[in-house]
Structure 1
Amino acid sequence: MRRELLGCGLSEDGQLGLGSRSAACVKLPEQIVGAPLSSSGTAVISVACGEKHTLLLAEDGKMWSVGGNDAGQLGRGGRGAGSFTIYPVSFSGGVEMIQIAAGRSHSLAVAEDGRLFAWGNNEHGELAMPRYISCQETPKRIAELTEVVQVASGPHHCIALLENGVVAVWGEQSDGAILHSPQIVSQLTGIPIVRIAAGGRHCVAISAGGGVYVWGHNEYGQLGTGDTLPRSSPFFLDGMSSMRIIEAYCGDSHTLLLSQEGRLFAFGSDAQGQIGGGRKFDKHTNPAAVTELMGSTVTRVACGRNHSVVVIGGRLYPFGQNANGQLGNGSAMNQPLPRQTDELDHVVSVFAGFDQTFILRSVDTPIMTAGPSCPLKTPVFLDKAKVLDLLARHEKLDLIGLLESVLSSISCINGSFLFDDEQHFLHEGSVHGVNLDDAMDTFGALGDSSDARQYAELIIDTLSMSVFSDDFNPSATASVEALRVYLILVWFHGFVTNVTKDTVNRLHQPFAESISKLRPVFRNALEKWWVKLPVRHFNRFVTVMMSAVRCLVKEKVDPQECRTYLEILASLCAINKVTNHIPLENFYVHELAENYNLKMDYVKWAHGQENKETGVTCWSSYPFLMNAAAKGELLYVEAVISMQTSMNGARLNLFGFDLFFEQPFFELTVRRNHIVQDTINGLLSSDRRYLQRPLRVHFMGEEAEDAGGVKKEFFMILFQKLLQSEYGMFVEDPDSHLVWFSGYDVEEVNYYKMVGILCGLAVYNSVLVAFPFPLALYKILLGQQPTLEDLTELSPIEGRSLQELLDYQGDDFEDVFCLTFTISYAAFGSTETSDLKPGGADIPVTQSNKADYVQRYVHHRLCIGRNGEVERQAAAFRDGFKLVLNSRIVAFFQPRELMELVIGNENYDWSELRKIVQYKGEYHANHPTILAFWEAFFELTVEERKQFLQFLMGSTRLPVGGMSSMQMYVQPTAPEVLPVAHTCFNLLDLPNIADSKELLRRLRISIQHTQGFTLV
């Protein structure tokens, strides 16, 4: 069978092209013999129907017309007399057409070069021509519109889609206003529209992500908004965002939507059966699948005024009004349900309008999928293959043109780099649909090219006309699809390469300000996308914002100038606390301490907090920017001020002499063999005010004065004792060797408060302690919830078991695990069980509730404990800790930073240790003894080097600032003695010998003896 075009329906004005002898109503499809032909049959690829006229588009780009011509709508010159014979329409210059549309008595055609031509009636502004022109008898270009890719028409109104994604309308609008020139639909700015449709008095636009946007009359529910209220601007049908809609079709008062899978949704009037519901209801206000077609794959759809036609498996299924035979079933009876027309098969395309239907048949067409009945051009988007191909072929001018075309349009940017498969659909806005790896690779290739700098300037200049333009108001856009630009652009190399203050002003600042202008619902949507980003893409966003902040910090600008970036970074940091996407260090601005007086900044911030001042931006408002060393320095400075204040309170100046009526220090005298009890007694008998004074420790019977070293050893021995099982306060996990609150009934819960006080005192007095608790403790101190990862750190076997439970996807879950919402604790040789929720013993753990079970298990295990004992013990510890460290600065810390503040870290950089050493006396960096010492030192094993740190400083761990923040001194001593350490001052007495082997031998002897103090 050759390709053939058939038509049915109203034909009294010759609009079917069947000749003058055809019936007024053709009830069975007849072949359109006069249609243009090719070697394979009919050459027609598209048909557009007016009320009395018809337009036909041939595969060679030529256009033909037939039917009534009362307003010149045939485009052949003249008006009045119609034509029952199909004739071509002439265009100047022989331009080829790619798409056609028709209204009641006007016609439209899109040329291959993007020009739009219009002719026919203009009484309602249909031609976008001045009101004094009532009709146009030959095609005339609409000069205001260029680069048009699609056009659609209702009876008296028109809608066009441009290559840059702009949607424009003209003609008689739903509110009665008549537009004689195209007007941009501003609410669709930023939305990558790929399909448009026009009904009687309403319009529909479909985006690349399957978003459905409707506006216009709605008296029959034809907008699908759930009501009958008209919409003067595009309204996003959120309920359809997960349905993967790809096409829209409009009748006079009904609308059909087609999904990628071939599902058909309908809404609006069904009075004539035009939405196939089977019941003649006037109003259907919500989109609903056409029940009769469920289970079938609809591939083609067309709407007339009050009838609809769909194609399934090459067969025609019409429904709706049939008074003029437009359903082609040989009857004039309306058909309320879709019914197959038996005589027709091999249908590849279907077109309808007013009361006519045209069918295109071909036996040579492969199996069809859901889509349009004729080829449609869409706006231009970026994709990786296209850009890489242009780069590979060195087509620089073409590439520049492509970049300018896409990046000058927010809509086109938002339609770029979308996944090829179903991932690009909106899915109710929870998925952005962008293949960010393609964006990363594409911008990376541009950044790696030899013309990278030129491309960067071009992109920045182009973005200034789109995303960064004052005309773009992100809060006025219709849906979250306009937000993709904020994910795509961060991979532009200009954000992180050769960043200067000028770059920040031209690129980072407008980008960040655009995000800050988003209304809350869109900002929340963007942040939900951030949460789900893979690590590389989340980190890129952070890197972009940080590059701006670091640049401005180096310029020493006022923090107020960075506020926009800082607010975005605050959101990203909050997300990162939950997702653990990237290390905390990625948010650090190490240059802060170098360029600003953070101590004064903190004072300013604290004053503002106390006085509830707003509008003042301080670095201290964004503590995540400060590295742990900077925060620790603030805490230590505050501690010193607090100590000095407390000491001043114990002093009276009389006649120029300081008289202390109270001890200016917090003195503790303890016995080594009774260090725990003596310490607790000392704390219990001391006034709480003394805790704010510098701590001095004296070991009874020992000579050393505490200049720092004694209290280092005091804390080391004390915590070793407290953590032993004989006290029953803490339990050690046999696998991780970390400890946790015992959960046992301890006679005096205040002991935990004492341990908290001691931990706070160590920090307050700048002493690192060996405190083998997991990160969970520091989360609790900061009011954060521990996670499964924290339990796994403490108890690897327990944590892995819970993770296996989460990972298991089998249908036999309950049979395999046999769990209920309970938790068991071993206590004194027996096992006790606690419910994780009311009635937990009777609630089985299933596939659907296992995540809830794990969350409750972790919380109970780490935060509640048997009979609530862990909760009480942890609370007492926290109270004691805060009794000493009652500082706002503590809240600045992240859990891991606080952990390092207490116990230090093990980020050893032994070469850095050599750099920080200061030499006294005759020693200097190139002294023979010093050279021999370092040669000997680097002969030590890593464990021996740690012992050296213990020997020198009283701890193997480093302060939060690392080795670079330490101080170490080396001074000469007699050649015949062993090296001696003064831990109070990190001072090493080094015998003055230049023999590295002998120094190594003596070092190894010395570092084996690291406890006890004597005068040197």
Structure 2
Amino acid sequence: MPRRRAPCHGAISGAPLPPSLLFFPEAPFFQEDLGTLRQISCKRGCLSAVKNDGTVVVWVGAEEGGDPQSHPRKPRRIKLEKNVKVNSVDCETSHLLILSSEGKLSEHSVDFQNVKSEPRLLKGLGDKQMVQIACGNYHSMALSKGGQLFSWGQNDYGQLGLGGKMRPAWVPRRVQALDGIPLARIAAGGYHSMAVSLSGSVYSWGKNAFGQLGLGHTEDKHSPTYVKALEHKKTVFISCGGEHTAVLTKDGLVCTFGAGCYGQLGHNSTRNELFPRFVAELFGVRVSEVACGRWHTLVYVEDLWKVYAFGSGSQGQLGNGRMCDQLIPLPVDFAEKGRKSITEGSASEEKIKVIAGDNQSILLFLKKKNSYASLNQTLARIEEEEIDKWVSDLDSNKIQYKFQCITHSYLSSQDEHFRTSQEAAGINMSAVLLFSDKIAKNPEVCTEVTNAVKKLAPSLRYSANSPEALRVFLILPVILRKKDHQSDSLLSQLAQIILDLETEDRQILESLWSSLDIPFFKDLVDIYQRISRVKIYSIIEQTRNSEMVDTYWNAPSPLLILQVLYEVNSRTGFKIQERNFYVPEVKEMLCAPKLSPTQNFEQYTFQVVIQVPCILDMEAKILLHNLDCVLLNWMSSWPNLSPNIELIVRRQYLVQDTWMCLRNMKANQFLLFFQVCFIGEPGIDDGGPSQEFFTILGRELCAPEAQIFQLFEESHLIWFSSQVPSEEDVHFLIGNIFGMALYNKKIAAFPFPLALFKKMANVPLTLEDLKELSPIEGRCLQAVLDEQYDDILESLMLDFTVLKEEGGCKVSVELKENGANIPVTKYNRQEYVDAYVNYIFNDSVKEQFKNFMDGFSRGCQTKKWNVFLPTELRLLLLGQTNYNWEQLEKNARYNGYEKSDETIRNFWAVFHDLPEEKKKDFLAFLTGTNCIPGLGMETFKFTISDARKEDPDKWYPVACTCNRNLILPRYSSQDVLREMFLFALEHYEKFGLS
């Protein structure tokens, strides 16, 4: 045989290379014409080739770890059963894997003396069809058409991805953490493994001593871990070297990371990289393919018909004719391969496949129409046109198999799914909904699908923390919408799995929920709201049947998920209305015949409901709050103490006497319900005098002359003053008053803005809150945000300061460090507005609000009040002023009268004829306040009684505020009633209530 010069390092004797192959450094493997090759695998000590006829030819080196070009063995041929062709091969140090065109996987031991020719089907894969294989040094992986990944072999560094520090696995085991993630590519390095999803997400696990996992550290990982640094890179291909990794993006860019000791990362250095880093030398070209050898890397640029190499060149594997390392990608000159087709423009007909072995590089020239890429079979999909056929086919095995493909059958169209992230799920939810509707038409198919979900559910606990891994939680509830016991049970199980996710995973899932379109988000809420109703009803039934309630007081998981969805809804500006979360059955639970406060059910009710306030409408929240107050009162007064404590005050010195009483009270006394006794005024407080107490106190404390609050004239609202009051504990005492009002179910109508109640609930404040409190300031700040012209904004001469009144003078306060020297521009105006709002509501009154909340906690020692939304808390404490006098008439009840009686008709005729302010005065005359309770006029009930039954001597109307009872003399004309009204209201004004 004639010798010829090798295309790279040295001259090696042997036959010319096959017409479809270049091998460098050149090796004496091919002693005969192999014909057209389909695929080549070159690993440590072993080289294998797949021919077009489906035959595998294998060469093994002289010793383990040896170079296959030294002392090569005679090639051995492996052929599978008749009519079965080989799709692809890969090998590790100890054995060779062969994947047939039918997806069956067999292995052959490699002992460096022989290749056992008898195929041995792998156990543990059953009848699953495989589409990809990958081998490391001592471990292997296989991807099934259904999307499941299997691994086996040694596991010293966690390279099998099975979780925990496990022993070797000698039969294939499923990598559960990647279940439900549609994988496009798998790759194995020396002792690490990688996978790429159809949407470009990258997962890594195994050895990480040099950062080859791309996670930013050097800790080994025993489970697949999401490579966040590649989240937005749209990865489509990945290759692993001995201790480094290269990824290829959809845009043709190359990122490398891991060991860089020989320059194999291409960054013009020998430094290791812990994070993926773009190879800058390849900017400007669109890379088509990348391959990692043990210590070197190859890339192929199809548009230029060029191959670039970098890294270790000690064995001539870089194809540059030298035995030295290369720190940056440089082109390989393969024009000497002796084929005229290269220079005759066959690039339009051929495609190069680059293969990097241990210390070898191979260029395989393939016809484009029969390219190597076609060997990589794709995952199964549920095609729309096949759904109807599938629904009619009740083969449970087929349904089980098809259902595994659900997550990658409904990716968003075109390239949208490549943008999968915490902000976008990359799933076509409309298609999922259509699929769910179609299978719902066949109950037997629904049952089979439910069984498929049941088998999938356990593996979801091991999901990798990535958006792609978690979007299965968006799909499955839609699939399980059918209302039956098994679906409900699985939805509950799914809810518990979600709750058990790591905090970071939960946050990603919540972000995906927030990105859903409103109809799909509402469907998800409806599903869990329905399951929550079922759970609540079950609890009620247990109580009715006197069954012992479990003392494990966590709320059922569907209710907790409903609460999480509510919080997501809140953060996204209430995409859907709050009533979508309400569970009406909970009122029945709260109104059930009361057991002893010490028994399990009552305690269980409180503990469950307090965890999921979203299921409560305002009426149910008030029920819960009031029940808890009664329970605390009972516990603090039992067995010998009175449930009440009396405040004795003088009406003309109400504020001073109140402060004295509050300062002398002990904390535990606030657990008792309080009564008010106005000195010199006979009677027992059954609710009326105590409400008058709050009404008068609120008016006196909010008066400008009190100098406690800052009054905003335009809005008629108050806010804490930044000035230090004369009585330093006044805000603490006012907080006490507010707490007492809430605990005792009274209205304390201090004209605070919603901002106070948002602060109490730890809800961030915005410019809209300032617009309510101070409309002028709010409009000015909005104008700053809306201004389009820089010169106008500059002419305002704003900086990061605000004026504060101090000692009767205006002083400037900086909103940030050096704020006086920072002008407000279009680029920082949002920061300025946010800082301004924060100063008004937070920084300037930090001490005052803290004292207020300390006092509030003392006055209302139940924590159930935090179930109320800020708007609800304001209504509960301040009442409302949406008067509906016709509704008031409808709500009236009668004692000794009929609605048709003349006195009643005259009464309402006179009442409706009164001026608006007199009607409000009548309401105060009747209840002690002119504000309507928080639930509105619809819930306001009062009674009109016949004076002959109550007090025959009274000739004018009398209001019994404790029970909202109005006493009217019989046979009163309109003129008489009008005179009685005016007399009563005038008499009432003398006490300072109106």
TM-score by length of 2: 0.73
Aligned to 1:276, the other structure's residue is in SS state coil
Whether the 8 Å contact between 1:978 and 1:1003 is mirrored in structure 2 is no
SS at match of 2:252: coil
Match in the other structure for 1:76: none
The reply on whether 1:443 has 2:433 as its aligned counterpart is: yes
The CA deviation at 1:833 is: 1.5
| Amino acid in the other structure paired with 2:110 | E
Change beyond 3 A, Cα 1:88–1:756: closer
**Which residue, out of 456, 459, 468, partners 1:466?**
456
What is the distance in 2 between the residues matched to 1:285 and 1:878?
49
| 2:903 pairs with 1:921 | no
Kindly tell me: are residues 284 and 681 of structure 1, through their superposed partners in 2, closer, same or farther at Cα, counting changes over 3 Å? closer
Name the structure 2 match of 1:730: 709
Partner of 1:146: 128
Residues 52 and 703 of structure 1, relative CA distance in 2, 3 Å threshold? closer
1:338 aligns with 2:329: yes
Task: Provide the C-alpha distance between the structure 1 equivalents of 2:644 and 2:26, rounded to a whole number of angstroms.
Answer: 112
CA distance in 1, matches of 2:218, 2:656: 79
Structure 2 vs 1, CA of residues 920 and 852 (structure 1 numbering), >3 Å: closer, same or farther?
Answer: same
Amino acid at match of 1:443: L
| Selected match of 2:279 from 272, 290, 298 | 290
Distance 1:486 1:805, change over 3 A: farther
8 Å CA contact 1:245–1:258 kept in 2: the answer is yes
- The residue aligned with 1:115 is 103
* Aligned-residue offset at 1:399: 11
Matched, 1:512 2:523: no
In structure 2, the residue matched to 1:379 is: 379
The code of the aligned residue for 2:104 comes to L
Equivalent pair of 1:432/1:484 in contact (CA under 8 Å): no
Gaps of 5+ in 2: 1-6, 63-71, 160-166, 336-341, 543-548, 949-954
Matched, 1:591 2:590: no
* Alignment CA distance shift 1:732-1:171 (3 Å): closer
1:624 and 1:15 map into 2 onto residues whose CA distance is 77
Residue 378 of structure 1: how far off its partner (Å): 3.6
Deviation at 1:861, TM superposition (A): 0.6
Task: Specify the alignment match of 1:167 in structure 2.
Answer: 149
* Per-residue Cα deviation, 1:397-432 (whole angstroms, up to 9, x for no partner): 3799899457854x86488545754664566xxx16
2:820 equivalent in structure 1:
841
SS in 2 for 1:164: coil
Task: For residue 288 of structure 2, give the secondary structure of its aligned residue in structure 1.
Answer: strand
Tell me if structure 2 keeps the 8 A contact 1:194–1:207: yes
Is structure 2 residue 544 aligned with structure 1 residue 549? no
| 1:778-827 deviations in Å (ceiling 9; x for gaps) | 34456666444433332345345556767889999985875443222367
Alpha-carbon separation, structure 1, partners of 2:412 and 2:48: 40
Check 1:217–1:727 CA distance in 2 against 1; reply closer, same or farther (3 A cut).
closer
Distance 1:290 1:663 in 2: 78
Give me the whole-angstrom Cα distance separating, in 2, the residues matched to 1:66 and 1:816. 82
Q: CA offset at residue 293 of structure 1?
A: 1.1
Q: Report the equivalent of 1:562.
A: 555
1:666 aligns with 2:668: no
Superposed counterparts of 1:811-830, under 5 Å: 815=794, 819-825=798-804
Q: Within 2, Cα distance between the matches of 1:443 and 1:928?
A: 63
* Distance in structure 2 (CA, Å) of the matches to 1:793 and 1:752: 22
SS of 1:17's partner is: coil
Letter matched to residue 133 of structure 2: V
Q: Which stretch shows the higher mean deviation, 526-535 or 477-486?
A: 526-535
SS at match of 1:861: helix
What is the alpha-carbon root mean square deviation over aligned residues? 6.0
Q: Say if 2:335 is the partner of 1:352.
A: no
Aligned to 1:659: none
Query: Where do residues 243-642 of structure 1 align in structure 2 (5 Å cutoff)?
Result: 243-251=233-241, 254-267=244-257, 274-278=264-268, 281=270, 287-303=276-292, 306-311=296-301, 313-320=303-310, 336-340=327-331, 346=348, 348-354=351-357, 355-358=360-363, 360=365, 373-374=373-374, 376-380=376-380, 386-387=383-384, 396-397=391-392, 404-405=399-400, 409=404, 413=407, 417=411, 420-421=414-415, 424=418, 431=422, 433-435=424-426, 438-439=428-429, 442-443=432-433, 446-447=436-437, 451=441, 456-467=446-457, 469=458, 472=459, 474-475=461-462, 477=464, 481-492=468-479, 494=481, 498=483, 503-504=487-488, 506-523=489-506, 525-526=508-509, 543-555=526-538, 556=540, 557=542, 558=549, 560=553, 562-565=555-558, 568=561, 581=574, 588-596=582-590, 603-604=597-598, 619-620=609-610, 626-633=616-623, 636=626
Q: Deviations over 1:420-461 (max 9, x none)?
A: 54664566xxx164146x326633763488617666544432
Alignment length, in residue pairs? Answer: 923
1:193 aligns with 2:193: no
CA contact (8 A) 2:909 2:974 kept: no
CA distance in 2, matches of 1:765, 1:600: 20
User: Matched residues, percent identical?
Assistant: 26
Offset at 1:862? 1.7
1:967: which partner in 2?
A: 941
Are residues 454 and 123 of structure 1, via their aligned partners in 2, closer, same or farther at CA, if it must alter by over 3 Å? same
Deviation, structure 1 residue 754:
5.6
Q: Secondary structure at the match of 1:465?
A: helix
| Conserved? CA contact 1:209–1:433, under 8 Å | no
For 2:456, what is the secondary structure of its paired residue? coil
How many angstroms apart in 2 are the aligned matches of 1:894 and 1:914?
30
The SS at the match of 1:463 is helix
Q: Which range moves more in the overlay, 133-142 or 885-894?
A: 133-142
C-alpha separation in 2, matches of 1:377 and 1:1000? 95
- Tell me how far apart the structure 2 counterparts of residues 838 and 161 of structure 1 sit (CA, whole Å): 57
Q: Which AA in structure 1 matches 2:752?
A: F
- Letter matched to residue 510 of structure 1: Q
CA distance in 2, matches of 1:569, 1:1004: 57
| Alignment map for 1:826-905 (pairs within 5 Å) | 831-843=810-822, 853-865=832-844, 870-871=845-846, 873-875=848-850, 877-878=852-853, 881-882=856-857, 884-905=859-880
* TM, length-normalised to structure 1: 0.72
Partner of 1:40: none
Report the CA distance shift for 1:749/1:171 in structure 2 as closer, same or farther (over 3 A): closer
Superimposed CA distance per residue, residues 239-297 of structure 1 (whole angstroms, 9 cap, x where no aligned partner) = 44443322112345543211223221234566765543455x59666543323213433
Partner of 1:205: 195
CA distance change for structure 1 residues 205 and 761 in 2, over 3 Å: closer, same or farther? closer
Q: Structure 2 CA distance, aligned partners of 1:850 and 1:587?
A: 37
> In the alignment, is the contact (CA less than 8 A) between 2:240 and 2:246 conserved in 1?
yes
Identify if the C-alpha distance between structure 1 residues 325 and 750 changes in structure 2 by more than 3 Å, giving closer, same or farther. Answer: closer
| Per-residue Cα deviation, 1:669-696 (whole angstroms, up to 9, x for no partner) | 53xxxxxx63223324547459866444
Which shows bigger deviation, 714-723 or 856-865? 714-723
Conserved? CA contact 1:587–1:624, under 8 Å: yes
- 1:775 corresponds to which of 736, 751, 754: 754
